[in-house]
Amino acid sequence: MVVDSNTWRQVFDRDRGYCRYCGVDLLLTFSAYCSADVDHIIARSVGGSDDVANLVLACRGCNSSLSRSAHLKTFEERKSHVEAQRAKGWPSYAKLLEAHRKGFGLQSNSTVETDARNSGARDSP
């Protein structure tokens, strides 16, 4: 759900650019940054507000998996839902990266910009 840019920025900064559900670094690439969403813990459709206390930073994948989950009204319930979806076979980012590298004919250990994250340039959440 879209919020105004000031609110989006407040949530992004508070959550330090990490998806609160899966922990993916949304500053990893420009594409990841552009796909960063804000999730309403209590959906607007059931009375949730745009107050930052009701919002968490979410990657596109996590936010999409929560799109029909207005009945989940706490962060913990929503996080459990995301984790359950992943347990059903939602591939990890590392597996997706590996699969795409193979598809592109790259070696699995080839260097990509994700290595910047492993250099300690950013603190973990």
- Nearest CA among 86, 87, 88, 108 for reference residue 98: 108
- Nearest CA among 39, 65, 32 for reference residue 53: 39
**Half-sphere exposure in the Cβ direction for 83 (13 Å, CA):** 9
Q: Which of 55, 56, 62, 72 binds Zn ion (CB under 5 A)?
A: 62
- Nearer to Zn ion by Cβ, of 43 and 65: the residue is 65
In the bound complex, what is the minimum distance in angstroms from residue 105's beta carbon to Zn ion?
A: 28
x-or-dash pattern for Zn ion, window 32-61, by CB under 5 A?
A: ---------------------------x--
Residue span binding Zn ion (CB under 5 A) among the ranges 14-22, 36-44, 66-74, 96-104 = 14-22
x-or-dash pattern for Zn ion, window 64-103, by CB under 5 A?
A: ----------------------------------------
Contacts of 36 (CB under 8 A, 6+ apart): 8, 12, 17, 19, 26, 57, 58, 59, 60
- Nearer to Zn ion by Cβ, of 22 and 72: the residue is 22
The footprint of Zn ion (CB under 5 A) covers: 19, 21-22, 59, 62
